[in-house]
Structure 1
Amino acid sequence: MSARTHTRPHPAPTGGVEIRLPWWALVLPAIAFVILLTLILNPSDAHAATSDPAVGRFLDHARQLVLR
Protein backbone atom coordinates (compact mmCIF):
# COMPACT_ATOMS: atom_id res chain seq x y z
CA MET A 1 0.00 0.00 0.00
CA SER A 2 1.64 3.24 -1.08
CA ALA A 3 1.25 6.53 0.78
CA ARG A 4 0.15 9.70 -0.95
CA THR A 5 2.60 12.53 -1.23
CA HIS A 6 1.41 15.96 -0.22
CA THR A 7 1.79 18.68 -2.80
CA ARG A 8 2.23 22.34 -2.01
CA PRO A 9 -0.89 24.47 -2.43
CA HIS A 10 1.21 27.25 -4.00
CA PRO A 11 4.09 26.82 -6.40
CA ALA A 12 7.57 27.29 -5.00
CA PRO A 13 9.06 30.76 -5.54
CA THR A 14 11.33 30.95 -8.54
CA GLY A 15 13.56 33.76 -7.23
CA GLY A 16 15.95 33.87 -4.30
CA VAL A 17 14.81 33.58 -0.73
CA GLU A 18 13.77 36.93 0.71
CA ILE A 19 14.21 37.34 4.45
CA ARG A 20 13.56 40.66 6.14
CA LEU A 21 15.29 41.32 9.45
CA PRO A 22 14.34 44.08 11.88
CA TRP A 23 16.82 46.95 12.12
CA TRP A 24 17.98 45.98 15.61
CA ALA A 25 18.93 42.47 14.49
CA LEU A 26 21.82 44.00 12.56
CA VAL A 27 22.60 47.11 14.60
CA LEU A 28 22.88 45.61 18.11
CA PRO A 29 25.43 42.91 17.24
CA ALA A 30 27.44 45.50 15.30
CA ILE A 31 27.47 47.85 18.30
CA ALA A 32 28.49 45.03 20.64
CA PHE A 33 31.29 44.04 18.25
CA VAL A 34 32.63 47.59 18.10
CA ILE A 35 32.54 47.96 21.89
CA LEU A 36 34.37 44.67 22.45
CA LEU A 37 36.89 45.53 19.75
CA THR A 38 37.67 48.87 21.39
CA LEU A 39 38.14 47.15 24.76
CA ILE A 40 40.58 44.71 23.20
CA LEU A 41 42.53 47.41 21.37
CA ASN A 42 42.75 49.73 24.38
CA PRO A 43 42.62 47.64 27.59
CA SER A 44 43.72 50.57 29.75
CA ASP A 45 40.16 51.96 29.50
CA ALA A 46 38.68 48.68 30.74
CA HIS A 47 39.80 48.90 34.38
CA ALA A 48 37.51 47.92 37.23
CA ALA A 49 35.67 50.61 39.13
CA THR A 50 36.81 50.65 42.77
CA SER A 51 35.16 53.86 43.95
CA ASP A 52 31.77 52.42 45.04
CA PRO A 53 31.89 49.34 47.30
CA ALA A 54 28.06 49.20 47.39
CA VAL A 55 27.95 47.68 43.93
CA GLY A 56 30.34 44.94 45.00
CA ARG A 57 28.33 44.22 48.12
CA PHE A 58 25.12 44.09 46.09
CA LEU A 59 26.63 41.65 43.59
CA ASP A 60 27.98 39.49 46.40
CA HIS A 61 24.58 39.46 48.08
CA ALA A 62 22.86 38.54 44.80
CA ARG A 63 25.35 35.72 44.25
CA GLN A 64 24.68 34.36 47.75
CA LEU A 65 20.93 34.45 47.14
CA VAL A 66 21.30 32.55 43.88
CA LEU A 67 23.55 29.91 45.42
CA ARG A 68 21.12 29.10 48.27
Structure 2
Amino acid sequence: MPARTHTRPHPATTGGVDVRLRWWVLALPALAFAALLALILNPSDANAAAGDPAMTQLLQRAQELLTR
Protein backbone atom coordinates (compact mmCIF):
# COMPACT_ATOMS: atom_id res chain seq x y z
CA MET A 1 0.00 0.00 0.00
CA PRO A 2 1.59 3.32 -1.05
CA ALA A 3 2.03 6.10 1.49
CA ARG A 4 -0.12 9.18 1.09
CA THR A 5 1.48 12.50 0.32
CA HIS A 6 0.15 15.59 1.97
CA THR A 7 -0.35 18.58 -0.30
CA ARG A 8 -0.40 22.15 0.87
CA PRO A 9 -3.58 24.12 0.32
CA HIS A 10 -1.58 27.06 -1.13
CA PRO A 11 1.86 27.30 -2.77
CA ALA A 12 4.92 27.59 -0.58
CA THR A 13 6.42 31.03 -0.09
CA THR A 14 9.98 32.12 0.54
CA GLY A 15 9.12 33.51 3.94
CA GLY A 16 8.82 37.11 2.81
CA VAL A 17 12.50 37.62 2.00
CA ASP A 18 12.85 40.38 -0.57
CA VAL A 19 16.12 40.14 -2.48
CA ARG A 20 17.11 43.36 -4.18
CA LEU A 21 20.48 44.52 -5.39
CA ARG A 22 21.65 47.87 -4.15
CA TRP A 23 23.11 50.35 -6.64
CA TRP A 24 26.61 49.99 -5.23
CA VAL A 25 26.62 46.21 -5.72
CA LEU A 26 26.85 46.84 -9.46
CA ALA A 27 28.70 50.16 -9.35
CA LEU A 28 31.72 49.07 -7.30
CA PRO A 29 32.82 46.17 -9.55
CA ALA A 30 32.28 48.35 -12.61
CA LEU A 31 34.38 51.13 -11.06
CA ALA A 32 37.14 48.69 -10.10
CA PHE A 33 37.15 47.25 -13.62
CA ALA A 34 37.38 50.72 -15.15
CA ALA A 35 40.24 51.69 -12.83
CA LEU A 36 42.22 48.54 -13.64
CA LEU A 37 41.56 48.99 -17.34
CA ALA A 38 42.83 52.58 -17.13
CA LEU A 39 46.02 51.38 -15.42
CA ILE A 40 46.58 48.77 -18.11
CA LEU A 41 46.02 51.24 -20.94
CA ASN A 42 48.23 53.92 -19.39
CA PRO A 43 50.96 52.21 -17.30
CA SER A 44 52.92 55.44 -16.80
CA ASP A 45 50.27 56.55 -14.27
CA ALA A 46 50.79 53.48 -12.11
CA ASN A 47 53.25 54.03 -9.25
CA ALA A 48 54.33 50.39 -9.14
CA ALA A 49 55.28 50.41 -12.83
CA ALA A 50 57.92 53.10 -12.26
CA GLY A 51 60.15 50.85 -10.14
CA ASP A 52 60.35 47.86 -12.51
CA PRO A 53 61.46 48.79 -16.06
CA ALA A 54 60.81 45.27 -17.40
CA MET A 55 57.20 45.42 -16.29
CA THR A 56 56.82 48.92 -17.74
CA GLN A 57 58.16 47.74 -21.09
CA LEU A 58 55.86 44.73 -21.06
CA LEU A 59 52.82 46.90 -20.36
CA GLN A 60 53.85 49.40 -23.05
CA ARG A 61 54.18 46.59 -25.60
CA ALA A 62 50.76 45.26 -24.62
CA GLN A 63 49.31 48.75 -25.02
CA GLU A 64 50.88 49.08 -28.47
CA LEU A 65 49.41 45.75 -29.53
CA LEU A 66 45.97 46.75 -28.31
CA THR A 67 46.00 50.12 -30.09
CA ARG A 68 46.87 48.64 -33.49
TM bucket normalised to smaller: 0.3 to 0.5
TM-score after normalising by structure 2:
0.44
Structure with greater helix share of residues: 2
TM-score after normalising by structure 1:
0.44
Q: Which structure ranks higher in relative contact order (CA pairs < 8 Å, sequence separation ≥ 6)? A: 2
